[in-house]
Copies of this chain bind each other. A is one copy, B any other.
Amino acid sequence: MAEPSFSLRTPDDDNQPRRICDNCGFVAYENPKIVVGSVVRHEGAILLCRRAIEPRRGFWTIPAGYLELNETPEEGARREAREEAEAELAISRLLAVYSVPRISQVQLIYRAGLKQPGFAAGPESLEVKLFRFEEIPWNELAFPSVHWALGHDAEAEAGAPPAPFANPAGETGSHMPDGGRVAPGDA
């Protein structure tokens, strides 16, 4: 079997270059991807998962991942919590819409609670734990948007109006809040 071989060319009916297969002409349209996730609160604490996979293996994140075909964002957010934390969520509302244009991501982050008590590390997690806000391992968070979401969730908890939050002013998700660089491909 031949290896995949793509060249960047502009299809006849288009106005920008796309990846086109040299062998069969298949146009691999690449689109931005939608990440869906949740800040999950249970008895005043927040559920975090320690990643068992790259990127950012060993770092803590909220349950989140790519939306699949034919899913609503809420369904996707519940599925990710099931996969990563074996948790059944009750979603209350959309917390934030973030965009990370460098890696062509739009993230929809929800506020949620546990529908039934109980959670455990799924195959993509090393461990899953509840943290009180003051115990959150801020220096071991996986992605800038996890940092943003936890901060915005605290603002929402304190009574901020129900608009969705967006990227902090001037932030594009390329750096952690302490200035640390995020590896290409990370969110």
- Main secondary structure on A side of the interface with B: loop
Residue A116, interface by CB 8 Å: no
CB atoms of B101 and A71 under 8 A apart: yes
Chain B residues near A23 (CB-CB < 8 A)? 1-2, 23-24
Partner of A24, one of B3, B75, B166: B3
Chain B residues near A104 (CB-CB < 8 A)? 69-71
CA distance A93 to B162 in the complex (A): 13
A64-94 with Cβ < 8 A to chain B: 66-73, 75, 93-94
Residue A106, interface by CB 8 Å: yes
Task: List the number of copies, as a whole number.
Answer: 2
Q: Closest B-chain residue to A22, C-beta based?
A: B1
Partner of A67, one of B31, B102, B108: B31
Residue A161, interface by CB 8 Å: yes
CB distance from A109 to the nearest CB of B (A): 11
CB distance from A182 to the nearest CB of B (A): 16
Of A25, A31, A102, A166, the most chain B CB neighbours within 10 A belong to A31
Q: Closest B-chain residue to A32, C-beta based?
A: B67
Chain B residues near A24 (CB-CB < 8 A)? 1-5, 21, 23
Partner of A71, one of B32, B73, B75: B32
CA distance A107 to B44 in the complex (A): 32
Residue A43, interface by CB 8 Å: no
- Using a CB–CB cutoff of 8 Å, the interface residues on chain A facing chain B are 1-6, 16, 21, 23-26, 28, 30-34, 66-73, 75, 93-94, 97, 99, 101-102, 104, 106, 108, 161-164, 166
A–B complex contacts, Cβ < 8 Å, 19 sampled: A3-B25, A4-B21, A4-B24, A5-B24, A6-B26, A21-B26, A23-B24, A31-B34, A31-B67, A31-B69, A32-B68, A32-B71, A67-B106, A69-B104, A73-B97, A106-B106, A106-B108, A161-B163, A163-B164
